[in-house]
A and B are shown apart, each in its own frame.
Chain A
Amino acid sequence: MGYTAHFRVWRGDANGGGLVDYEVEVNPGEVVLDVIHRIQAEQAGDLAVRWNCKAGKCGSCSMEINGYPRLACMTRMSIYRQDEIINVTPMRTFPVIKDLVTDVSFNFEKLLSIPAFAPPPGLQPGEYRMQQEDVERSQEFRKCIECFLCQDVCHVIRDHEENKKQFAGPRMFIRLAELDMHPLDVADREIAAQEDFGLGFCNITKCCTEVCPEGIKITDNAIIPMKERVVDRKYDPLPFWRRRRRVEERATPQ
């Protein structure tokens, strides 16, 4: 039942590196991370790989398998042919630290720059009342496990290092959308979404949605609605739309 697979794993660090070949045993039902672990335990004890829960819940083992961003713990070996060479590289949008581990601090810096949830002044713990239909949109975005595969695949920064300063990336856009749709948040981040976080760089080519392991509809449910809200506030000349409708609603929590 088992077979020997041909893996090519990127080994190296910030100074350089390349793909190294491994012949490794694969048992039925295994995922790519199992095979990486076997290489680690039997052939290369110092092979660096980040992982935690191994159940698709923590978003640690993000890497690129045959050039496509994936969670290694959720990528079954059975989707590949047995005679296929399997290339495994770290995420290639972030600086590599060692082997399959990259420096994802870019994402944490961006997370730190997004103005936090602003509760209505005076509302005490236990007094919050929200309807299920009002929290559902934001709940979808809170499914995010911060694997940063969307950040990795986004060509705006993947192909253009210089855009990293002005562009926050899909994960940050769903965070902005989550807060903007939160029924009780009183802050305004719509103009900032465009001017500080670079929403306009997004050309909605949907790769973020394609790679999201949580199935979050990043483009349709977060980015495009945010773009429309930015249009309301920034581009649409009709005063009817420019009325700060949502902001007014915020002032009177339920």
Chain B
Amino acid sequence: MVQAKAPFGVDAPGRASVGKRTLRTDRWWYQPNATAILLTIWVAYATVRVFWRQYYFAAEYDYLSPFTSPCVSASCVPGSSSLGVWFGTFPVFLPYAIITLVFLLGFRTTCYYYRKAYYRAFARTPGACAVPEPHKRYHGETRFPLIIQNAHRYFFYVAVLISLVNTYDVIHSLFHGIGLGTLIMAANVVLLWAYTLGCHACRHAIGGQLRHFSKHPIRYKLWKGVSKLTNRHMQFAWTTLGTLMFTDWYVWMLSAKVFADPFYIHF
């Protein structure tokens, strides 16, 4: 953070200076701080879990953690590679689902909602509305690296494929039996779809780019449906962070035999 000597921003010459950073008296700092804390906790949890490479598969129930899906290397525990083994043994530092993780991370990082969240929480550009940001210069997303945000739609395409894989995981586990874990995984997948399809790039592709809805009635209907999800994109973004974490934790617990899946029925 560069602290300027010369007055700038709201204190620039000609503007009404009040000698204070902000006159806001509400708890404007609460939301960016809470966002920062929650995101940090989640990233820390996810980092530990993907690099740990343990307790990601509850073989007894055929539950695979979404953090490790798909598990397609020779290092994966037996039974977890329902989509086959595509790679040899992974070195110890490589998460098993590295190919999907890169894209999932990219999808969420370039997401129009998360961008708002972390720009506010970490970059503080701005921390809250009408609260000065701490940087002397600002170029937004006009240059490298942030110009990469424009690739969001490509991450979206891959995210759709990954959501298909996650859906497959649930269906695959149903061949084994059904239990509370199945329901948790299914709920997670439904919410993941709601988050993924509510993506602004999806809304654009499905119909937002059209000039005449009246000439494309089906796409107009789809666009209206997607718009409803987009309106709740923030809620789905947070809910799915929670359900992803919870689903993974649940698989961990079952896999580590801390407790058993209640009401499980074997087929």
Contact = CB atoms under 8 A, between A and B. Distances in A.
Interface of A: 10, 12, 14, 16-19, 64, 66-69, 84, 87, 89-90, 92-96, 102, 131, 133-134, 152-153, 155-156, 158-161, 163, 181, 183, 198, 200-207, 210-211, 220, 224-225, 227-232, 234-236, 245-246, 249-250, 254
Contact of A203 (B125, B153, B220): B125
Given A229-B209, A250-B211, A163 B138 contact: yes
A90 B14 CA distance: 12
Contact of A201 (B19, B140, B209): B140
B258 to A, nearest CB: 41
Contact of A153 (B130, B137, B231): B130
Given A158-B10, A236-B153, 14 more contacts: A19-B18, A153-B129, A155-B132, A158-B130, A160-B9, A183-B212, A201-B139, A203-B125, A204-B115, A205-B116, A224-B204, A227-B150, A235-B151, A246-B211
B137 A203 contact: no
Contacts of B231: 220
B141 A133 contact: no
A152 B56 CA distance: 50
A168 to B, nearest CB: 13
Most buried by A among B135, B139, B230: B139
B92 interface: no
A230 B142 CA distance: 12
A204 B25 contact: no
Nearest to B202: A228
A143 B25 CA distance: 30
Contacts of B3: none
Contacts of B146: 203
A183 B214 CA distance: 10
B213 A200 contact: no
B23 A67 contact: yes
Interface string B108-151: 00001001100110000110011111010111111000110011
B102 interface: no
Contacts of B220: 133
Contacts of B151: 235
B25 to A, nearest CB: 5
A89 B8 contact: no
Given A68-B24, A155-B125, A200 B14 contact: no
A92 B10 contact: yes
Contacts of B214: 131, 133-134, 254
A64 B130 contact: yes
A201 B140 CA distance: 4
Interface in B6-54: 8-10, 12, 14-19, 22-26
A41 B8 CA distance: 35
A155 B22 contact: no
Interface string B71-85: 000000000000000
The 9 closest A-B pairs by CB, nearest first: A67-B23, A201-B140, A67-B24, A207-B129, A228-B204, A131-B214, A200-B142, A159-B9, A95-B14
Contacts of A14: 14
Contact of A64 (B14, B23, B142, B208): B23
A50 to B, nearest CB: 14
A203 B129 contact: no
Contacts of A198: 140, 142
Contacts of A17: 16
A246 B36 CA distance: 40
Nearest to A207: B129
A68 B131 CA distance: 9
B210 interface: yes
A160 B16 contact: no
B201 interface: yes
